[in-house]
Amino acid sequence: MKQKVEPGKINENTYLIDINMLGMAKITSMFVVKGRKTALIDGGTSSEAQGIIKSLRDFGLLPVDYIIISHSHWDHHQAVPALLKEMSGKEVELLAHPKAIPLLEDPSKVGYDFGTYDTLLPIKGVKPIKEGDAVDLGGVELQVIDTPGHTPDSISLLDSKNRSIFVSDAVADKTDDTTCLPAIMPPSFDPDTYVSTLEKLKSFDYESMCLGHYGMFYGPDVKHVLDEARTMYEQVWRFFDDNVDKLVDLEWITNSMIEKFMPNSKTVKRIGTMFAMAVVNWAIDGYKMCKRL
């Protein structure tokens, strides 16, 4: 299994955009699928909006016809207002799962403070899409698949032409071949549904998987990512169970998880523990909410 991490064209119809979230490269991905029409998958963060617009412009991808929002977490849609302003005069269709729409219209309804520094912006005029729907771009089609667990409103998109699937955060944060953090996230992570989604994703035909965090993994063994994600989830969940009295010590939990589960993480070596600590903090809160602690 290999990974494509560099921004730009990654197959006949697909481009990778690195949003450089919080100044960190190769952490958060967006994707563009271009047929006769163009779809942007996810909308990034508001603080990185101008960089996202520059990347799209540099690759000749503006304007787009669709923005498809994978789920209601802020880092996947908060640049949408800036993108729409940049494309003023162009009719852009916004699409998301029906359960995501009220949370996009009023982000306070998500019910959890992720600690972002930016004011969360409402996104209006989003149309619903659900499993069984397809977005026809002309020459390439994106099939909608419901993939809840990470959130109840998570969707994935299957491009059968290029045998590629866009899963955003529904599987895991796998930023390189040595780093994998499970998709446990507040406030609505559901363990049973998450595991069912991982099993469900094995049934589709694809040879590349595009992640929200980060890049595209590809090869005949790409579905091993699903097994890795499940194993990591189960190990982390047991680790939290075994150390429930230590969950208040974020630094200890994070360092212990790195040492125990990914001691050779290239991402941690590259950028330090800041990203891991943020994800672990959210995972702890997701676990606590599930356990009603």
What would the pLDDT profile of 153-200 be if each residue is shown by its tens digit?
999 999 999 999 999 999 999 999 999 998 999 999 999 999 999 999
pLDDT of 105 higher than 90? yes
Question: Is the Cβ–Cβ distance between 46 and 82 less than 8 Å?
Answer: yes
Q: Which residue has the tokens 């991490």?
A: 5
- 38-74 tens-digit pLDDT: 999 999 999 999 999 999 999 999 999 999 999 999 9
Q: Which three-class secondary structure string do you get for 45-98? A: CHHHHHHHHHHHHHCCCCCCCEEECCCCCHHHCCCHHHHHHHCCCCCCEEEECC
Alpha carbon distance 148, 171 (integer Å): 10
pLDDT of 22 higher than 90? no
- pLDDT for residue 3: 98
Alpha carbon distance 200, 293 (integer Å): 30
What's the average model confidence in pLDDT over 97-104?
98
- 276-286 tens-digit pLDDT: 899 999 999 99
pLDDT of 116 higher than 90? no
152 CB contacts (<8 Å, ≥6 apart)?
99, 188, 190, 193
Furthest-apart CA atoms within the chain: distance in Å: 56
- 233-288 tens-digit pLDDT: 999 999 999 999 999 999 999 999 999 999 999 999 999 998 889 999 999 999 99
How many residues would you count in the chain? 293
Q: Residue 119's pLDDT band (boundaries 50, 70, 90)?
A: confident
How many CA atoms within 13 Å lie on the side-chain side of 173? Answer: 22
- Radius of gyration of the chain from its Cα atoms, rounded to whole angstroms: 18
- pLDDT for residue 117: 65
- pLDDT for residue 157: 98
Tokens at residue 7, please? 């921004």
Domains observed in the chain? 2-233 (3.60.15.10)
Beta strands in 134-293 (DSSP E): 134-136, 141-146, 155-159, 164-168, 172-176, 179-182, 208-211, 215-218
pLDDT of 201 higher than 80? yes
Q: Which residue has the tokens 């980060």?
A: 214
